[in-house]
Structure 1
Amino acid sequence: MEHKHFMIYKPYGFLSQFYSNDSKQQKKKFLGSLYDFPEGIMAVGRLDEKSEGLLLLTTDGKTSDFVNSKKVDKEYYALVDGAITEDAIKQMSEGVEIGFNGKKYQTKPCKVFKLEQVPDLPVRSKKIRDARHGPTTWISVTLNEGKFRQVRKMTSAVGFPTLRLVRVRVGDKHLGTMQVGQVKPLDTLGF
């Protein structure tokens, strides 16, 4: 069987799945409404409903397992509430304690830095509060683990909650100039 691979710019408000049999989720938005994906397609990792950006899709479970096994870097741009301090950036980069599955979890060291310019990203479908409510800062966070809502929990742990979260890179695959909801078929994921 020849496997199929895709990159998608997951929109804000969509779940990282293709459909649901759960009656509670029938009003939710699913990736399957954006493109005619082949049978057996799966998301490589996930982005929560309020996160957006690069999501890789494949019919190859081995590739999915490899990417999710902490061997591949994932880079996120996070808009945080407040003027983030160098100390907060240092704490995040060295690892912070977050809650995960009802237990305390120490995140692994990662690369975190303040972006000097506002990233050129499509406007989000849901408005984000503006500067009248105080300063905000864009940061880059690159990690190779992926606990549930990890980046959001990390920024909150250092006192700067995330207002917008966009995954811009997985390994050597970049979001680039893709537009929200755009799907690009790939010959290979190349991992």
Structure 2
Amino acid sequence: METSKSHRHFIIYKPFGYLSQFKSQDSKQQKKQFLGELCEFPEGIMAIGRLDEKSEGLLLLTTDGKMSDFINSQKVEKEYYAQLDGDISNGAIEQLKSGVEIGFNGKKYQTKPCKVFRLKDIPELPIRSKNIRDDRHGPTSWISVTLKEGKFRQVRKMTSAVGFPTLRLVRVRVGNILLDNMQVGDVIEMADFRVRD
């Protein structure tokens, strides 16, 4: 989808520990960190699909509500790299692919079939600001998960449902836009914003 040139668009590497909003909404959030601390964004900017506080990686921002609606309407793939607690089995990967039952808004929800595979090598990602336990405390494994839906904390809930909780979660792709070699906290303004599968 191509957007009008009157809108402004950014891609950022959302750091671990930041909320996907631009400023505090209430007094309880005063000690939290917000996207507005990374850059002075234009009025009317919105995050397209959120990443929870403990998740990091590619986040698209735009002033174009139609673009936001298009990406959030489950037409566009989002790919995540997840580091898991334990050495994930082939059976668990197959379960994730076909869909698992998770809790959402107090109800049971069956996730849609998605693409999941084990990463052969540990991905080259920036060091996270908060340490993750290392293999001295048991093995970990990395998988790629590609979804078109995006329920709150969905990937984390999915991996827990098959017995392998997520230790680190990084979004690396939205449609054709890649995280590539961006570093934590990077903000890049895009002159021409096209998002497609």
Normalising to structure 1: TM-score of the pair? 0.99
1:144 aligns with 148
2:170 matches 1:166: yes
Match of 1:24 in 2: 28
Query: What amino acid is aligned across from residue 174 of structure 2 in structure 1?
Result: V
Q: How many residues align?
A: 191
Per-residue displacement from partner, 1:19-38 (whole Å, max 9, x unpaired)?
02300001100000000100
Whether 1:54 and 2:58 are equivalent positions in the alignment is yes
- Residues of 2 paired with 1:180 and 1:8: CA distance? 8
Sequence identity percentage: 73
Q: Which residue of 2 aligns with 1:43?
A: 47
Residues in 2 aligned to 1:93 and 1:162: alpha-carbon distance in whole angstroms: 16
SS in 1 for 2:82: strand
Counterpart residue number, 1:114: 118
CA distance in 1, matches of 2:174, 2:191: 16
**In the aligned structure 2, how far is the partner of 1:106 from the partner of 1:19?**
33
Matches within 5 A, 1:176-191: 176-191=180-195
The one-letter amino acid paired with 2:108 is: K
Q: Which runs of 4+ in 1 moved over 4 A?
A: none
In structure 2, what residue type is equivalent to 1:101? N
Q: Hey, what does 2:92 align to over in structure 1?
A: 88
- 1:12 has 2:16 as partner: yes
| TM-score, with structure 2 as normaliser | 0.96
Q: CA RMSD in A?
A: 0.8
- Which residues of structure 2 form unaligned runs of 5+? none
